[in-house]
Chain A
Amino acid sequence: MLALAAIVMAEFTIPEEIGTNPRSLLLLLPLLVSIAVVYKATKVSGVSAGNFLKESALLFGSILVFIVITALALAAVAWFVVG
């Protein structure tokens, strides 16, 4: 048990290997889920499973769509500038 705990704790002393490629930005999606869940948990009047999940999913989707639109807009600007 102690050895298992030591192994688990050792995992937190070595950074993960993440390349500097566009795919690594997908790691921001779990963060987006967390933000949507916590924000909605502070805002909904009564916490019921169905309503809460629906609200959180809606917020997650809205932010994601906004990020995609912003990314496309920035990519378009970069394309116009760089050529």
Chain B
Amino acid sequence: MLKLQKILGGVAAVVVGDFILLYIFFHTIFRFFTPGHPLGLGQGIVVGIASCIFFWIGWCMPLLFLVGLAGWFLPGGGYLVLKETGRALIIFVAITATFVAGLYIGSIGVVDPIAYKLWYVVQMMSSPLVAIIGDHTQGGGFPVYGRPSEMGQIYTSTAGLLNLLCIVNAVYMAYIRKTQDVEQ
């Protein structure tokens, strides 16, 4: 029973916590505050419900919340909170280098919240700081086509997906540690 509870709790924390976090940021910051892209009623309701769940998770599981948030803001930040410095450093260097390489190959034009919306969602998983680039490049101010565009998007999006993997893993690691402490 305890094992099942442990597994279900871990899965819920990882899935709900991380995806809501990304969803909230994307919709509230970009769709709401960007002029010309107001938040629709349906999206507003979804964001409202998601916000409630988001804060509920933060209230009930502050450590997992903190680990997830730190991991998103800074690649490897979740491991840093868990005092896994070596792991955090490797992940930070690898993910940041991949993202920067993508920007170098395809230029910052590969990050465009309007023209490449789906790519942008994935790129946002690297860090919310991608929003600053997106704010400058939206609307096609930095045109990029062909192979450089493909390569740049593949690199930056892979960096985002790798960071998502790290966030999920760090939150799960935090959850396992927490349950082990409770059992002891």
**A residues at B contact (CB < 8 Å):** 11-20, 24, 27-28, 30-31, 34-35, 37-39, 41-42, 47, 52
Is B20 part of the contact surface with A, judged by Cβ < 8 Å?
A: no
How far apart sit A34 and B38, CA to CA, in the bound complex (Å)? 37
Residue of B whose beta carbon sits closest to that of A19: B147
How far apart sit A53 and B55, CA to CA, in the bound complex (Å)? 40
> Secondary structure of the B side of the interface?
helix
A37 contacts B90, C-beta separation under 8 Å: yes
**B residues at A contact (CB < 8 Å):** 84, 86-87, 90-91, 94-95, 97-98, 101, 103-109, 142, 144, 146-149, 151-152, 154-155, 158-159, 162, 165-166, 169
Known: A15-B149, A34-B94. 8 other contacts (CB 8 A): A12-B104, A15-B107, A15-B109, A15-B148, A17-B148, A38-B166, A41-B87, A42-B91
* A57 to B: closest C-beta gap in Å: 14
How far apart sit A24 and B105, CA to CA, in the bound complex (Å)? 12
Q: Which residues of A contact B109 (CB under 8 A)?
A: 13, 15
A18 contacts B148, C-beta separation under 8 Å: yes
How far apart sit A15 and B160, CA to CA, in the bound complex (Å)? 20
How many pairs, one residue from A and one from B, have CB atoms within 8 Å of each other in the complex? 77
**Which of A13, A15, A34, A52 has most B Cβ within 10 Å?**
A15
Q: Which 3 A-B pairs have the closest CB atoms?
A: A15-B148, A47-B86, A42-B169
> Secondary structure of the A side of the interface?
helix
| CB < 8 Å neighbour of A41 from B91, B105, B142 | B91
* A74 to B: closest C-beta gap in Å: 19
* A22 to B: closest C-beta gap in Å: 11
B151 contacts A18, C-beta separation under 8 Å: yes
How far apart sit A39 and B158, CA to CA, in the bound complex (Å)? 12
Q: Which residues of A contact B97 (CB under 8 A)?
A: 34
* B173 to A: closest C-beta gap in Å: 9
How far apart sit A18 and B94, CA to CA, in the bound complex (Å)? 23
Q: Which residues of B contact A31 (CB under 8 A)?
A: 98, 154-155, 158
Q: Which residues of A contact B94 (CB under 8 A)?
A: 34, 37-38, 41
A41 contacts B103, C-beta separation under 8 Å: no
